[in-house]
Homo-oligomer: A and B are copies of this chain.
Amino acid sequence: MPLAITTLKKFAKQTDPLLFEFFQNQKSQTPKSLKHAHQMLENLEDFCTRGGKRLRPILVYYGYRLLNGDKSKDILKISLAMELVHTFLLIHDDIMDQSDLRRGKTAIHKLYQNGHSQRFGESMGILAGDLSSNLAFKLLLSTDFSSKQKVKVLQKLQDTIINTIFGQELDIRLETNGLSKPSEILNVYRLKTAQYTFECPLHIGAMLAGANRKHLKIISDYAIPAGIAFQIKDDILGMFGKSKHTGKPVNSDLKQGKQTLLIAKALQKASKTDREKIKAALGNKNLTNNQTAEICQIIKKTKALEFAEKLAQKYIIQSKQALKKFSKLGWDKKTIKELSNLVDYIINRNM
């Protein structure tokens, strides 16, 4: 197993009890008569422990340890608050994208649809997402960090969530419009993945350890390229990965009409006939396996795959370069090594 995966799994195991404890507290604060409220809390708890990578939480922890060592145990609570924010965004995304599966199990709004209307399922999904968002802030505010620190962290988090919302909006609009330029796609990746998944958690951890503006800037030099590479790899896995690893059907991006770098590049380079084939496949809910295989072939033939892989590689190199600056500042060696492993994992992962 790659080093980073071992570390991620260990971290998940280490933080799970805190998550259970938080939900336990939350349930004990909720009147017993509200039995469906208890059920919603349990659904969220289950969702959080379905075996997501818990990448954002570990990055909060890394950001903290990088500058500070290991002073407050409550940094783990902050990192789980980040996971609850992620849960909120995923649940709402799954409604917008009409995804049936998440982490290999039924998406939350689909779970609620069982025996009810689609409207009911989606309403419950909206509420479950809203709940997760507010639980995230609640958990964050319950930690032993100073009020001043909490306010700073919350401001960072709010700004990032706002950008992520705008990124998601752009993403949906690109889907709806059908055709996008690779540069537009990279804009979404920056907003939706690089800032949100990598930069924000690292910044939050580092801010709690006393990082100044200059420190945060250097952290961004690592985080942004790593994040973009992560998203490019995500798209590649979405087309060429195995469903049993990724936890979602292999052609779900295509069926949904998602505009990815692979698709945008292939559309740019493909022959007229092939371009029509891609257009016909995008957003086609009845896409067959044969058609999917054909699109995969076009992506290879047009060298869109090669282009995406090389670009991801370029970002990975940039990201690793930035880690050298971390070392020069005398930041925690163990953490720098783990951030380096993480970058290797990004490019080599199959899930």
Chain A interface (Cβ < 8 Å from any Cβ of B):
30, 33-34, 36-37, 40, 92, 95-96, 98, 116, 119-120, 122-124, 126-127, 129-131, 133-135, 137-138, 141, 146-148, 150-151, 154-155, 158-159, 161-162, 165-166, 168-170, 172-173, 176, 187
Contacts and interface: CB of A to CB of B under 8 A. Distances in A.
A127 B129 CA distance: 11
A169 B134 contact: no
Given A124-B172, A127-B165, A134-B162, 13 more contacts: A30-B166, A33-B187, A36-B166, A120-B176, A127-B168, A134-B158, A135-B162, A137-B137, A141-B158, A146-B147, A147-B148, A150-B151, A151-B151
B130 A169 contact: no
B96 A166 contact: no
A98 B119 contact: yes
B123 A172 contact: yes
B166 A137 contact: no
A151 B162 contact: no
Nearest to A150: B151
Contact of A172 (B92, B96, B120, B187): B120
Nearest to A131: B165
Contacts of A134: 158, 161-162, 165
A33 to B, nearest CB: 7
Chain A interface SS verdict (over half): helix
20 contacts: A33-B187, A34-B166, A36-B169, A36-B170, A40-B169, A92-B127, A92-B130, A96-B123, A98-B119, A120-B172, A124-B169, A127-B165, A127-B169, A134-B165, A137-B137, A137-B158, A138-B159, A141-B151, A146-B147, A150-B151
Contacts of A173: 36
Nearest to A142: B155
B172 A155 contact: no
Contacts of A137: 137, 154, 158
Given A36-B173, A92-B126, A169-B40, A133 B135 contact: no
Identical copies in the complex:
2
A189 to B, nearest CB: 14
A61 B176 CA distance: 44
Contacts of A116: 176
Kindly list the 8 A-B residue pairs having the minimum CB-CB distance in the complex, ordered from nearest.
A147-B147, A96-B123, A37-B166, A147-B148, A147-B151, A138-B158, A134-B158, A134-B161
Contacts of A30: 166
A346 B127 CA distance: 29
Contacts of A154: 137, 141, 154
Contacts of A148: 147
Given A131-B165, A169-B37, A169-B40, A155 B126 contact: no
Nearest to A125: B126
A166 B162 CA distance: 25
A290 to B, nearest CB: 27
Nearest to A148: B147
A158 B131 CA distance: 9
